[in-house]
């Protein structure tokens, strides 16, 4: 890629042609406030919080969508820029509930973060406010239109990452909101409930139903782990409090999935604390199961396999591997089948 040289806050920055000012600034550690921008998604330039001054431009420009150019001079922290950002936050708060004390997003809400940094306790603009009912007719997440800042992240991720196009901008002007077509429930749309819209929402407009009012953001221990549902190996983040998983989130900086999840990975974790979950090996004796140690259970399996092989031959035994296992685990099981038992009767649950 062709390289350009520009100045940002007096620092010489080398950037690839096609990068935005925001990306070039981030490359050298200059943080620009933002709400609608999210790495991996096309910029929408909706929030106007990332505006900067560019020499030669009469107006402030949205750094998340403005491409760099050779010999460009950018200023990200002037008084004019700070006043514009403060005004943008003020406008957003003019139609936003002041319920941070009970909001699930408190502690990780970006609007809350910037309101704090700019010292805005209450919007100076009085006027009409929305009063939408909370939409939660699906089993996984709730949408509170009153908190939505129309950043467009959920729309972009649904269109560009998941390719469902389940939601989009609806209505016009002050009545604009993010909704399914004809304002239908999510069950009536192509939505697959991947939860990626929830993960990219910068405020409390979208929140998981699991874990609501069970723990504040700063009380939750974040534990990275690997999803147990298939062999892809996506990284998930368990949100744990008092030894119990309250919800599952993701981190775009971790793993091969870059923060994206499927419905099973994000919402299918209730089995962890299910009372029906088997946590110890069981051996059946005289028609009933009893708990056993792993050593006893493995010995019983080995003895059973040897007895069947000696009596009926190796091909009387078959092995089923699972898509929930890693490639390495499945490789080891087929090696046991072929090398230890001597059969090629190996099948896979996802073969069909």
Q: Is the dihedral of CA 181, 185, 191, 195 positive or negative?
A: positive
Mean pLDDT of the chain, nearest integer: 93
80-89 long-range contacts, CB within 8 A, separation 24+: 80/53, 81/51, 81/52, 81/53, 82/118, 84/48, 84/51, 84/60, 85/33, 85/49, 85/51, 85/114, 85/118, 86/118, 86/120, 88/47, 88/48, 88/49, 88/51, 89/49, 89/114, 89/115, 89/118, 89/120
The count of residues in the chain is 352
Q: Per residue in 205-247, pLDDT tens?
A: 999 999 899 999 999 999 999 998 887 889 999 999 999 999 9
Q: What is the pLDDT of residue 352?
A: 61
C-alpha to C-alpha distance for 116 and 113, rounded to whole angstroms: 5
Q: Per residue in 60-118, pLDDT tens?
A: 999 999 999 999 999 999 999 999 999 999 999 999 999 999 999 999 999 999 999 99
Statement: residue 348 has pLDDT above 90: no
- What is the rounded average pLDDT of the residues 111-136? 92
Q: What is the pLDDT of residue 232?
A: 84
> What percent of the chain clears pLDDT 70, i.e. is strictly above it?
100
Q: Per residue in 53-62, pLDDT tens?
A: 999 999 999 9
pLDDT confidence bin for 252, thresholds 50/70/90: very high
Taken in order of first residue, the domains within the chain and their CATH numbers are 3-77 (3.10.20.740), 313-352 (no CATH)
What pTM did the predictor assign? 0.85
Statement: residue 199 has pLDDT above 80: yes
Report CA-CA distances (Å) from 342 to 39, 265, 311, 315, 330: 51, 36, 14, 8, 16
Q: Per residue in 290-300, pLDDT tens?
A: 999 999 999 99
Q: What is the pLDDT of residue 323?
A: 80
Q: Per residue in 269-315, pLDDT tens?
A: 999 999 999 989 999 988 999 999 999 999 999 999 999 999 999 99
- What is the rounded average pLDDT of the residues 245-265? 94
pLDDT confidence bin for 50, thresholds 50/70/90: very high
């Amino acid at each position: 890629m062709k390289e350009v040289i520009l100045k940002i806050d007096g620092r010489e920055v080398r950037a690839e042609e096609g990068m935005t000012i925001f990306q070039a600034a981030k490359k050298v550690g200059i943080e620009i406030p933002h709400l609608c921008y999210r790495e991996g998604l096309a910029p929408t330039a909706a929030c106007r919080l990332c505006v900067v001054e560019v020499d030669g431009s009469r107006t402030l420009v949205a750094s998340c969508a403005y491409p760099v150019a050779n010999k460009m001079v950018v200023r990200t922290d002037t008084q004019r820029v700070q006043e514009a950002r403060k005004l943008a936050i003020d406008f957003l708060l003019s139609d936003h509930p002041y319920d941070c004390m009970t909001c699930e997003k408190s502690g990780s809400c970006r609007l809350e973060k910037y309101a704090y940094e700019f010292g805005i306790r209450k919007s100076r603009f009085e006027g009409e406010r929305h009063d939408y009912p909370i939409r939660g007719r699906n089993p996984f997440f709730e949408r509170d239109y009153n908190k939505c800042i129309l950043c467009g992240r959920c729309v972009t991720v649904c269109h560009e990452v998941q390719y469902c196009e389940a939601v989009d901008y609806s209505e016009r002007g002050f009545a604009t909101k993010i909704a399914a077509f004809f304002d239908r429930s999510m069950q009536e749309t192509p939505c697959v409930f991947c939860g990626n819209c929830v993960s990219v929402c910068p405020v409390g407009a979208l929140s998981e139903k699991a874990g609501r009012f069970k723990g504040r953001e700063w009380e939750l221990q974040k534990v990275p782990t690997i999803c147990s549902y298939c062999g892809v190996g996506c990284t998930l983040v368990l949100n744990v409090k008092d030894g119990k998983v309250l919800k599952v989130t993701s981190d775009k900086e971790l793993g091969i999935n870059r923060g994206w999840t499927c419905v099973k990975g994000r919402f299918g974790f209730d089995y962890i604390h299910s009372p029906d979950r088997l946590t110890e090996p069981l051996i059946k004796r005289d028609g009933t199961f009893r708990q056993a140690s792993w050593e006893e259970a493995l010995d019983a399996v080995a003895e059973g396999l040897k007895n069947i092989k000696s009596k009926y031959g190796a091909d009387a035994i078959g092995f089923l591997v699972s898509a929930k296992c890693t490639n390495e685990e499945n490789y080891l099981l087929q090696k046991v089948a072929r090398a230890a038992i001597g059969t090629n009767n190996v099948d896979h649950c996802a073969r069909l």
